[in-house]
Structure 1
Amino acid sequence: MRIPVAGGANIELGEQTQATSALRSALNLPAIRVLGDFIKKPGTGLVEREIPDYEVLYFPEGTDSVYRVGQREYVLSQPCFVLTRPGEIHSYTYDAHKPTRHLFIHFWLKSFPGDMLPMLLPNGPAVIPYQGELLYSLMKQINAIAYLNPDRLQDRGSLLLLSLLSEIDSLAANEPSKQSLNRLPPQLTKALDIIELSLSSSLTVEILAKRVGWTPEHLSRSFARFLGMTPKETIMRRRIERACQLLLYGQQSVKEIAFEVGFTDENYFCRVFKAMKAITATDYRVKYYNPRHGDLAPVNDGEALYPSNRIFFGEP
């Protein structure tokens, strides 16, 4: 296949791939190896290990999880990045009382310019606090590329990863970081939080509106404007997404899951599930269940561009 370029010339697709690879090498972009977004069950952990590459992780919520590296121990009590370098012996003990979410990326550097990313030098910082949306979104976007467009991961994803590492390095050097603005009105953010915490109970638009201080009409208009759906549709969608997680990472029957996500009629739940997922709840469990993921906790992905608890691969 030939692709037009500036000046009327054409290049073969293979030549374009080689050019992209050469550019990535010239810029010394990191090569992504493995990445994902996992939610671990309370009380689980990662036994002591040593890795041959670099790993950057982000914990979006503060927990009582503990990261140990060498003789140092860190309680991850606030949102933070964790950096692990090749050869560093480390382990994790996740919070004993609630699930722990973390996003991670393993990567190579073909050559290491220490003046460019000094945080990656030996004895560099292990834990870097960060509470914001910009860098969190960068990590989610790299995972989204791996899931939605894996053949572009090494060029698009590597550029984003280099930007991410540069920003984390700035944080490590105590430079001020800009916090991104939340595009949603605070009442909508609160409404979404209430929905997430009320999936197993009866929740009406009237009750939701009262709790956020709006009228039902204004709440419905705002949902349509900012989220593209009504509050009722949002509640139903969240319930089905939660049911998907319970099917994969829980042991309950379909009937028990239906009740847990707020349905009082199993048959109605099954009809709604099939209408949204184009597959029955039972078939969904059979198709996607993996016994190797027994230590992962159910989570509601909401409007994420990629599924949680799924590992993606870059270069071998």
Structure 2
Amino acid sequence: MLGEKHQLEFTLLNIGYAEHHADWNWKDINSPFARIHLITKGTAKIHRGGKTYVLRENHVYLTPSYTPHSYECDGDFSLYYIHIYEKLEKKSSIFDLMHFPVEIQSDDLLNQLIERLKAINPKRELSIYDPKSYDNSSELIKNIAFQNTTPIALEFESQGIIKVLLARFYAFTEPKTKQADARVLRVLDYIHTNIHSAISIDKLAEISFLTKDHLIRSFKKQLNCTPGKYINRKKIEKAQLIMLLENPSIQELSYKLGFENVSYFNRLFKKLTGENPSAYKRRLAHHTDSR
């Protein structure tokens, strides 16, 4: 399923080691980057998807990008944290394609690799642990720019370590479209490639060689939502990322993502994120200015 057009490339944003004392309690986190945690001492909880997972010592945890979640900790708790940003351009995210496990058992090799990743990437630690203080435009751009100054040998090594970590999780993945035939996969690929344009159900039916009704039924059965809802969710995720990396007006942003009606874009953004795009931009700016 991951062919040539799905070559994986990641940017390391943060890596560090932290010791917490009942102070790792953050709610409603939803970021454009993925998080990996290696637990070294104590326990905590992560709440996501209506479930609660207990974080245990010597286990590694993965939270994909755009996954709403919360943390809870009521005692001593230590961990390594890694934040990675998947470079996409016009292709599907690996997290769009596959269901990843939340937890895997760590071992000596993984522990050593994570320690090595930290050693070759100094100054990547978080200065403030509140996600609202580092999930902002200034911090993200700074980390991406910092990555571009990394010596190429260390960049190769960092990329290799990140891919080994993800490979351990990938060994236990399942395709999100496990029973999908080539026609539905073609539709998904078209959506991700053309997310900046207006995408009609008629066009999706045409490229899949299915009737609209058949396409909608098949898509909903395999992805638990209609093509229209899937497209809208991916467009709003892209809008959040653009606002982190750039500073477009709301009108520019809506047109950039193929919306002809700015009011509809505003309503959809608020429905899916809980706040309108103007408020989202102000919040990003506030956390950037307050650092």
TM-score, with structure 2 as normaliser: 0.44
TM-score, with structure 1 as normaliser: 0.41
Higher alpha-carbon Rg = 1
